[in-house]
Structure 1
Amino acid sequence: MAVFLLVLLAAGNVVSADCPQDVQAYKAAVANGEAWAIQMLDASIVFPDGLMYAPGPRLGHFEQCLSAPSAPNYCLVGYQMNAIPRYQRVILRRKETLPAATVQVAACVPSSCDAAGAVEVAAFNLQGVLDRYGGQLKQSFCYIEDQFDGKAIAFVAVSVALISATFLASFTEKIPWLSARHNLIELFRQPPRTSIHCVHGVRCLSIAWVMVGHKFYTQSLVAPPAPSGPEAALPWFTAIGWNAYLSVDTFLLVSAMLSARAIAKFRRLPLVPFYLLRILRLWPALAAVVFFYACASTLVARGPLWAPHVQTEAQFCRDRWWSTLIFLNNYIDVDVNPCLSFSWYLSIDMQLAWLSPLVLFPLLKWQKKGVIWTLVLLSATIITIFTLTMVYNLPWTMSLLAKGDKIVLFWDLVYTNTPLRSQPYLIGLLLGFFIERPFKRISDKIIAVGWAASLGCFFGVVFSVLLDLVGVLADSSVAAAFYSSTHRILWSCSLSWLIFACHKGFGGPINKFLSLKVWVPLSRLTYCVFLTHLSYMTMLAAAHKAESQFTFYDVILGYYGDIALVWLPALLLHLTVEAPMSGLVKILANKLQ
C-alpha cells in the first residue's frame, strides 16, 4: 500500500540543549550573509513550487547540506498549506475535494538539532510563504547516517562465509548441493517432459507484473502522480498498474496446483513431511533477506528519503523479525508495521498450505464430496466479502481513490485476511488434483469457447475497474461488492483453463510462448526476485536526490532498468541460500519417502 512512512527513528535523535542557540546563530549568520549559513539555506527549500499540481517531497540539495562546513543535519518538515485546498481529478471525470495537501520540504539544520528543531529552522526559511499563504509545519524526520557496527560486521561475515563455501564447493564433487557451479547448471537444466511447462512462463510474467505495481509505488515516493497530469489520459495503463496485485493470486493458484498435483500423484498426504518441506522451501531465503535488511541495508547508500523508507524498514526488521519468520505477521500486531512490507503474501501462502489438508484429505478420500466441500468454501468467501463490502462501504480493490479509513479496513478485513484470500488457492487445489486425470477428447468448439471465455475474463477483470476509476460506478456499493467478491474467482478460473489447455495440448501459440526454454531459469529465480526486487526499487527511490514529476515515461524507463538488474541480487541469493537449501530439502524428501 502506497503510504509515506513519516516516522522519526529514535536512535540518534536526541534533542541537544544547544539547538535553540545554534538556530539563532544560523538566523543571524544568514542575515549577515555568512557563507556557511547561506550554503545551508541554499540547500533548503525556501519557496516550494507546484503544490497545486502534485504534493511530492521538495528535496532541496541533500549532499550540499551534509557537506557544509558546520556539519549540519538534513531534515524534512511537513508543510500543510491550508490556503490552497487540494483538488483531485482522477483520470477523466471524477473530481473530489480532499484535505489540504501536506508536502515534505527540506531543511538543512544545525547538527545539534533533530526533527523538532528542524521545524523552527523551516519556519525561518519559509517565512515569506507562511506570511503570504499561512499553513502549518509538522516535524517529520532527519537523516542520521548509520555506522558500520557489530550487526553489519556479522552480516558481512556470514555473507562472505556463504559465498566462499559455495565457491569452494564448486571444485569438488563431494557436496554438489552446496556447489555454485552445480546449482548454476541445475538452474538452466530443462524440466522433464511430464512437467507443466507453461507454468514457467506464467511465473515470469507474474513477477514482471508484480514489479509493475511496485514501480508505481516506488516512483510515487519521489513524485506522486499529478491528478490532472498527462498520465490521466491513459486510464488503461493505470488499470494495468493498479491491478498488479492479481499476480499475487496467480502465484497462490500455481503454488496450490503444484502441491495438489504431487499429492494426487502419490495418493497420500503425510502431514509432517508436507509441512516441513514447505517451511524449508520458503524460510531460508526469507531469513537471509530479513537478516540483510535488519543489519546492513542502511549502509548500502544514502539519500533524502533514506530515513523514512530504508532506515525505518530496517528498524521494523530489528523489532519485528520474528513475526515475519513464523509467517504470522498478517495477524500478530497488525497495527505495527511488519518487517518487509511485502511479506504478508508469504504469510498467507504458508497459512493456506497449513490449512490445505482440510481440502486435500476430503479430495483424496471422497472425491465428489471433496469437490462439493471446496465449492462450499468458495461460496462462503464470496458471501463474506460481498457482505463486508456492503456493510463497511469498502472499495472495489486496493484503490488509491479510497479514503484512508476505508482502505485500511479493506486491507485488514479482506486483502490480508487469509480465509478471504483463499479463492485462487482453493481453485488451484482442484486444478492440481484433477489436471493429470484422463479425460475425453474435447471438441474444437468447446476449446474455442473456453479460450474466448478465459481471455474475456482476463481483460474484463483487469479493465472493469475503470468503471470505478472514471467515476461511472464509483459510488455504487453493489458494484464494488460484486467485483470484490468475484473477480479473483473469475481470474483464477481463467488462469486454470489456460494452464489446463496448454498442458493438454490445445494451447496453440500461447502454450509455445509460455513454454519457451528461456523462461525456465528465470522462473526458478522468481522467488528470490520477489524477495529482493522491492527492497532494490525502494532503495533507488530513497537515494534519489533530485525532484521530478510523475510520468508514465519515467515509470516505464525505470521499470526496464529495474527488471534487468534485479536478477543479479536474486541470482546471488539463489546460489548462496535457496539452491543449497533446496538440495538439502530434496535429500531429506527422498529419505522421508
Structure 2
Amino acid sequence: MIRAAALLAIASVAALTINDTTIDKHLLKRLSSYIDSNKTIDLDKLRNLNKTVLLNKELVTILNNYVNEQNESKPMQSKVSDDTESYSVYENGKKGSTLVESIEESPDYASSIVLASDVLSLTSAVSNIEDEVCREQGYQFLDGLLQNKRWALKMFDASSKSPEGLLYGSSYHLGNFDECIGIHDEGETVTVDGQYCLATIKWPQPQETKKSRLGRGEILRWAVCVPSACDAKAVERFVGDVLARSVGNKTTVRVEHRDCYFKEPITVSTNDVAFLSVMLFFLAIIFISTAYESACLLRRSKSKTITHQLIVSFSLINNGKKILFTEQTNSMGLDCISGIKTLSMVFILSGHTSLFVGTGPVMDESGWDNAVKNPNNSLILNSMLLVDTFLMLSAFLFSRLLLAELDKRRGKLNVIPIILFRYIRLTPSYLAVIWFYITWMPKIGEGPLWKEKVMLEQERCRENWWINILYVNNFVHSDTMCMFQSWYLSVDTQLFLVAPIFIYALWRWRRAGPILLGLSIAVSVAVTAIITYKDDLDPTLMIYAKEFTDLISNYYFHKAYIKTYMKMTTYFMGLLTGYILHRVQTENYEFTRLLKVFGWITNIILGTVTMFLVSIFYQDWYAYNNIESAAYASLSKLSWGIANGWLIIACATGNGGILNKLLTWKVFVPFARLTYSAYLVNGLVELFYLGQLRHPLHITTYSLVEYALSHLMLTFFFGALLCLIFESPIHGIEKILLNKFVHSKSREAARKEQSQGSSRSTSQSKLES
C-alpha cells in the first residue's frame, strides 16, 4: 500500500512534466530505488504531496510495468484508480477539493528542476514544522511548486541545490539572495513572502583534517529560501530533516535569527532621528561657515579675531586647504613622517581587505591557503607590524615635541591640558562613526551575510559604545568589541597617559632617565615572551580562514593581540627614538660614515627578517614550538622598533638618501592627514562589502590587489568626508583654544620671568657700581 501510494505521488508529479508516453529508463530506475529506500514514509505525508493534481493513466501504467519488471518478487498490492480524485493538504485526505485546470508556467522548466525525490523530502520536512503558519505557507509553496507557479519555482530556484566544488574547498553556497527576497504571492488564504536563510551545516571530518589550520574547516554555509512566516528554529528543523533524508543524520544544522533576512519596512527610532539631526546641524554650520569665508575672500577681509577663526574652522575652504596643503616647514626635520604614515596606512588597509576577502566566501580554499604561505605576501599578512609602526610614531612625536617644550619651559609643563585636548581631538570623529554603526549602518544595504556581519557589529556597538569612548575596550568586553580596529585607539591612549612620566625622566635625569626606559623595554620584551610561551600562543596574529569567520571572537586577537602589555615594546622604542633625536639635534651631533653604514645595514637586515620571517610559521612543514613563538613575538617588536628608529633618525638628520626623498614626497602629505579618519571608516567599507556580497570570490594575487586598491580609494574618500565634517574643524578649534588659554599663560609667565630677571640684573649692576 505504501509503495503504491508513493508511486501514485511520483506519477502525479511526472504527469505534469511529460507530454508523451515515453520516459527515460534511468529516471524510472532512480524513482524505483527511491521508493524502495523509503518504505516507512507516512501515507498522510504522501497525500500532502498530491493536492489537486491530474493523473495521467498512460504514464502510470508505464511506471507500474517498469517497477514490476524490476521487482518481480514484490508485486504491486494495489492498483491506481482511474478517478481523477485529489487530496487536500489542509483537509488531510478528504475528497472534494478543486482540480487544477491549467499550468501557469513552462512545464519544461519544472521538469528540469523538480524531481520527485526532492519533493518527497521537502514534503516530509514541511510536515514536521511545528509552527502552524509556517507549515501552512510551506504547503502552499509545495502546491505552487507542483502547479508550476512562478513564485514557488523562484523560491526553489533561489535555494542552493547539490553543492559543487566541495572537494575544491567551496564552503559558501549562497543561492540567489535577490530572487528570494523579491518573492511575493497573495494567495486566496495565505500571503507568502520570500525569506533568505543561510544555514550553517557542520560536516563530520577525519581527525587529521580537524587538526589542520588550513582549509575552511567542517562548516558549510547553505542558502535556503523559505516563507517569511518561518522563524530560525523552524528553518533549522526543516533543513535538518531534508538533509537527514539525503545524507543521513551525520550533519549538524544551525540557523540563528541573524542568518535569515526578508524585506520589511525600515523602522526609524528616536536615536536614528537624533543622529540625522546632529549631522544636519553640523552640515548647516559647515554651509554657513563656508559661505562666510567665501564672502570674506570676496571682500579680501583679513580679520584675525578669535570669532573669525572659530567660524572659519568649519569652512570647507579652510579645511580643504589644510588637507591639501603640501608645504612642510618643520624645523625638526620631521617631514619624512608623512611618507611613513601614508605607506604604513596603505599596507594596513590592504591587510584588512585581504583578511576580510580572503577569509570570507571564496570558491577555492587553496587560493587563500597558497597566499598565506607565499613569502611575497608578507607585507599584507604581517601588516600587524605596520600597526606597531603607528604606535611607535605616536610615541616618537609625543616624546620629541614634549622634550622640546620642556626645554622651552625649563621643565615646567602641565600635561593635563595636553591629555584633555587630545581626548577632545580624537573622540568626536570616533563617536560619530560609532553612532553611525548603531543607527543607520544596518539600513544602507542588504545581502546574504548582512545580518551576520553588519547587524552583529550594530549589536556590539549598542552594548559597548561607552567602553570605546573611555578607551578601555581592549580589556573590558573585548570579546564583543565595537569596531574591530578600535583596540588601537585604546592601546595608544593608555600608553599616552603614562608616557609623560618617562619623557620627563629622560629630560630631568640624563643618566637615570634612559636607564629607566631601557629597563622598561627589557621588561616589555620579557612580558611578551613569557605570556606567549606560557599560554602556547602563536608568534603573531595568524590569518587562517577557518579561525577568522569573526575577527573579534578569534582567541589570539582578544586574548593577546589587543592587550596593551603586548604592545609596550614598540611604544617605548618610539619614546627612546624621540629622545635620541632630541639629543642629536640639540647637540648638533654629526654621524660618522661608519655609523651610517652600520645603521643602514642593521636597518635592512632587521626590517627584512622581521617582516618576512613570519612566512615560515605558515608553511606545511613547520611544527609549532612555543620557544620559537615566544622569541619571535617579543624580539620582532624590538627589532622592528630598532629598524624604524634608525629610519626616522636618519631621515630627520638628512642621512636618509633616496628614502628620504621618497618619504618627503609631497603627494603623501594630504593622505597622511587623513590616516586617522581613514582608519575609523575602514571597518565600514570592509563590513559593507562582505555583507552585501552575492557570490563567492576566486582568490588570486591579482584579485587581492584589485580589491585592496578599490577599498583604499573608498576608505580615503569617506575618510576625507569625516575629516572635513568632524576631525579638521575640531582640530582647528583645539589649536585656537590651546593658543588662547595655554600659550598665552606661557607667554605671560615668560614675560614675568624675563622682567624679574631684568630687575635682578639692574639691581646687581647698581650694587656693583
Question: What is the TM-score normalised by the length of structure 1?
Answer: 0.90
- Could you tell me which residue of structure 1 aligns to residue 556 of structure 2? 410
User: 1:217: which partner in 2?
Assistant: 355
Contact 2:201 2:252 in 1 (8 A): yes
Residues 341 and 409 from structure 1, CA distance in 2 versus in 1: closer, same or farther, beyond 3 angstroms?
closer
2:581 is aligned, of 435, 459, 463, to 435
Q: Establish whether residue 184 from structure 1 lines up as the match of residue 320 from structure 2.
A: yes
1:162 aligns with one of 272, 277, 282:
282
Matches within 5 A, 1:304-343: 304-335=448-479, 337-343=480-486
User: Would the aligned equivalents of 1:107 and 1:121 in 2 still touch at CA under 8 Å?
Assistant: no
Alpha-carbon contact 1:62-1:304 (below 8 Å) kept: yes
- 1:256 corresponds to which of 395, 411, 419: 395
What is the identity, as a one-letter code, of the residue corresponding to 2:168?
Answer: Y
Q: CA 1:305 to 1:408, structure 2 compared with 1: closer, same or farther past 3 Å?
A: closer
Q: Conserved in 2, the CA contact under 8 Å of 1:395 and 1:402?
A: no
Name the CA distance, whole Å, in 2 between partners of 1:230 and 1:530.
Answer: 25
Cα separation, 1, equivalents of 2:503 and 2:659: 30
Amino acid at match of 2:417: P
1:40 aligns with 2:155: yes
Distance 1:288 1:230 in 2: 35
The corresponding residue for 2:435 is 291
What is the Cα-based RMSD across aligned positions, in Å?
2.6
Counterparts of 1:402 and 1:68, CA distance in 2: 34
Q: Distance in 2 between matches of 1:297 and 1:97?
A: 33
Q: For the structure 1 residues 98 and 74, does the alpha-carbon distance in structure 2 shift closer, same or farther, using more than 3 Å as the test?
A: closer
SS of match in other structure, 1:54: coil
Aligned partner of 2:328: which letter? P
Change over 3 Å in CA distance of 1:522–1:340 after alignment to 2: same
DSSP-derived class of the 2:317 partner:
helix
Q: Which is further off, 500-509 or 241-250?
A: 241-250
Q: How far apart in 2 are the matches of 1:567 and 1:86? A: 44
Matched, 1:240 2:383: no
201, 209, 221: which one aligns with 1:79: 201
Higher RCO (CA 8 Å, separation ≥ 6 residues): 1
Partner of 1:4: none
Per the alignment, residue 344 of structure 1 pairs with 487
1:207 equivalenced with 2:345 (yes/no): yes
8 A Cα contact 1:52 1:84, kept in partner: no
Inter-CA distance 402–389: structure 2 relative to 1 (3 Å threshold): farther
- Alignment check: 8 A CA contact 1:84 1:100 kept: no
Q: Which residue of 1 aligns with 2:224?
A: 107
Alignment of 1:136-535 (within 5 A): 136-140=252-256, 141-144=259-262, 147-150=266-269, 151-173=271-293, 174=308, 175-189=311-325, 190-195=327-332, 196-224=334-362, 226-229=364-367, 232=370, 235-267=374-406, 268=411, 269-335=413-479, 337-400=480-543, 410-437=556-583, 438-535=587-684
Query: Alpha carbons of 1:245 and 1:383: their partners in 2 closer, same or farther (altered >3 Å)?
Result: same
SS at match of 1:45: coil
CA-CA distance at 1:408 after TM superposition: 5.1
| Residues 235-277 of structure 1 deviation map (CA, whole Å, 9 limit, x = unaligned) | 1134222201111101101111111111101114412112102
Taking the aligned partners of 2:545 and 2:165, their CA distance within structure 1 comes to 24
Whole-Å separation in 1 of the counterparts to 2:330 and 2:492: 27
Instruction: Tell me, in whole angstroms, the C-alpha distance in 1 between the residues paired with 2:265 and 2:136.
Output: 26
Moved more, 431-440 or 15-24: 15-24
Structure 1: runs of 5 or more not aligned: 1-14, 90-94
AA partner of residue 352 (structure 1): L
- 1:120 Cα deviation from its structure 2 partner: 3.3
- Asked if the contact 1:65/1:72 (under 8 Å) is kept, the reply is yes
CA distance in 2, matches of 1:84, 1:299: 42
Larger radius of gyration: 2
Match in the other structure for 1:11: none
Matched-pair contact (CA < 8 Å) for 2:171–2:216: no
Residues in 1 aligned to 2:648 and 2:206: alpha-carbon distance in whole angstroms: 53
**AA paired with 1:392?**
D
Q: Deviations over 1:414-434 (max 9, x none)?
A: 312212211111111121233
The alignment status of 1:576 with 2:725, answered yes or no, reads: yes
Bigger drift between 467-476 and 377-386 goes to 467-476
TM-score when scaled to structure 2? Answer: 0.70
Q: Deviations over 1:426-483 (max 9, x none)?
A: 1111212331332432122221221111111111011111221114543222111100
Distance 1:23 1:157 in 2: 44
8 Å CA contact retained: 1:86, 1:101 = no
Q: Which runs of 5+ in 2 are unaligned?
A: 1-129, 185-191, 294-307, 744-769
Cα distance in 1 between the residues matched to 2:562 and 2:143: 53
**Do 1:77 and 1:104's aligned partners in 2 also have CA atoms closer than 8 Å?**
yes
Q: Does 1:19 align with 2:134?
A: yes
Contact (CA 8 Å) 1:41, 1:108: kept in 2 or not? yes
Deviations 1:193-218 (A, max 9, x none): 31501100111111111112111122
Per-residue Cα deviation, 1:7-36 (whole angstroms, up to 9, x for no partner): xxxxxxxx9652233334434543554432
Deviates more, 1:434-443 or 1:80-89: 80-89
Describe the superposition over 1:359-417 as per-residue Cα deviations: whole angstroms up to 9, x where unpaired: 12211221321111111111112212212222221111111359969x95533453122
